[in-house]
Chain A
Amino acid sequence: MAGSSRLLGIAALCLGALVARLFSGTIGGNHLLLAIALGFLLANTVGVPSRLEPGIATHKLWLGAGIVLMGASISVGAIREAGGFVLLAIGLVVVTTVVLVEALSRYVFGLTDRLGSLLAAGSGICGVSAVVAVAGAIRAREEYVAYAAATVLLFDALTIVVYPLVGDLLGLSGQVFGIWAGLSMFSTGPVVAVGFAHSEVAGQWATITKLARNALIGVVVLAYASYYAREQTSATGEDGRETLFGSLRSTLGTLWAEFPKFVLGFLALAALSTLGVFSAGQQASIENAYNWLFLLAFVGLGTEIRIRQLRRTGLTPAIVVLLALLVVSSLSLLLVSVALPTPAVGP
């Protein structure tokens, strides 16, 4: 029964993907943004029928699979060329975002420390996934998780609309736009969507940058877990000593548990592609396959944007995240534009 309702939902995603593809070919418009719009319309007008929900919830699986396949179109040489700068920029952006959101939450707007930390993780690393991962590590209250997740979803919805407009207005090259989106937007789905909506080059850079940023989730979860554990230990006066081996094992365990595994599939395909394993025809088929998988994923992503849910976002958390986003987004755009001023080739 569960299997058949999952199949129904997946069939609905396929139908949405076909309609988006068909409409973009006939009336124009970007197929990825059309797919998101279709999902959004369904969820906010008639609503998603409950029997379709299990299948539609598989959209993150298709996004992950699409990203794995995208590895086959990536040249390791191009990544090596811009990789050092991208990694440095990711480090700067993540630290700046987390510190800024924490400072604004605690010292300017007086939010509770755990809510501030959830907002910081969601804005700094990978959206709702980071909120959920950090919430588990710091034992945050359910209502804080809901607030932080709703705030992140609100900004996912806003940036899907605003980033492509700014990119076109400023005439950004694919590489600059992609790295900028990957550095400063929140969740992986919207980053991939606006990247590929801009251009193939932008989509590839946006995904690579976002994947590298997502890989830091384990480090951030560990940092927050040890910060709140120490706070708890000093408050209760407990002895928090642990053997060095035990501590190292639990650290490595957390890093592995939080690491997004599809990044390994992506890297394996990038390595095979660089070794020239795939013919041009096979590479084209793999590229088409990931474009279809992204379409499925984005119909599902659109259904996640629920206006009623976004209304629940508290005003103060939204202001905190808006201020941080404005600062970090402007600074990262400036950084990327200065460091990579020439139109560059795709990865």
Chain B
Amino acid sequence: MNEESRLASLAEVRSRWSALERDWQSVVVGVTVVALVSLLDVHIPWAWSW
């Protein structure tokens, strides 16, 4: 993918994202986190050790 088409698709994603209303954006963020955790087994910690 060349630079120009990459920028065009980024702009498309951005305009689709801003067209979504805030409530639906919240659902998209929630679904993304669930997908990361359940499909890719990403572990999200609460406490950390130094």
Contacts and interface: CB of A to CB of B under 8 A. Distances in A.
B33 interface: yes
B22 A60 contact: yes
A286 B33 CA distance: 7
A68 B30 contact: yes
Given A285-B44, A288-B46, A65 B21 contact: no
Nearest to A67: B26
Contacts of A60: 22
A69 B30 contact: yes
Contacts of B33: 65, 69, 286, 289
A261 interface: yes
Interface residues of B, number: 22
A64 B23 contact: yes
Nearest to B41: A282
Majority secondary structure of chain B interface residues (helix, strand, loop or mixed)? helix
A12 interface: no
Nearest to A263: B23
B22 A282 contact: no
Contacts of B46: 287-288, 291-292
B38 interface: yes
A265 B24 CA distance: 9
Interface in B19-50: 21-27, 29-31, 33-34, 37-38, 41-47
A25 B41 CA distance: 27
Contact of A261 (B23, B37, B43, B44): B23
A269 B22 contact: no
B6 interface: no
Q: Pick the most buried of A260, A262, A282, A285: most chain B CB atoms within 10 A of its CB.
A: A285
B14 interface: yes
Given A68-B27, A68-B30, A262-B30, A292 B44 contact: yes
Nearest to B10: A3
A158 interface: no
Majority secondary structure of chain A interface residues (helix, strand, loop or mixed)? helix
Nearest to A279: B38
A64 B22 contact: yes
Contacts of B27: 64-65, 68, 261-262, 264-265
A278 interface: yes
A286 B37 contact: yes
Contacts of B47: 25
Contact of A260 (B23, B29, B37): B23
A281 B46 CA distance: 13
B42 A68 contact: no
A261 B14 contact: no
A72 interface: yes
B10 to A, nearest CB: 10
A269 B14 CA distance: 26
B49 to A, nearest CB: 11
Q: Pick the most buried of B29, B30, B33, B38: most chain A CB atoms within 10 A of its CB.
A: B30
A341 to B, nearest CB: 33
A214 B23 CA distance: 13
A-B complex: 4 closest residue pairs judged by Cβ atoms:
A64-B26, A68-B30, A261-B23, A65-B29
14 contacts: A60-B22, A61-B25, A61-B29, A63-B26, A64-B22, A64-B27, A65-B33, A68-B26, A68-B30, A69-B33, A262-B23, A281-B43, A286-B37, A292-B46
Interface of A: 3, 25, 60-65, 67-69, 72, 260-262, 264-265, 269, 277-278, 281-282, 285-289, 291-293
Given A68-B26, A69-B30, A265-B27, 9 more contacts: A25-B47, A64-B23, A65-B30, A269-B30, A277-B38, A281-B43, A286-B33, A289-B33, A289-B37
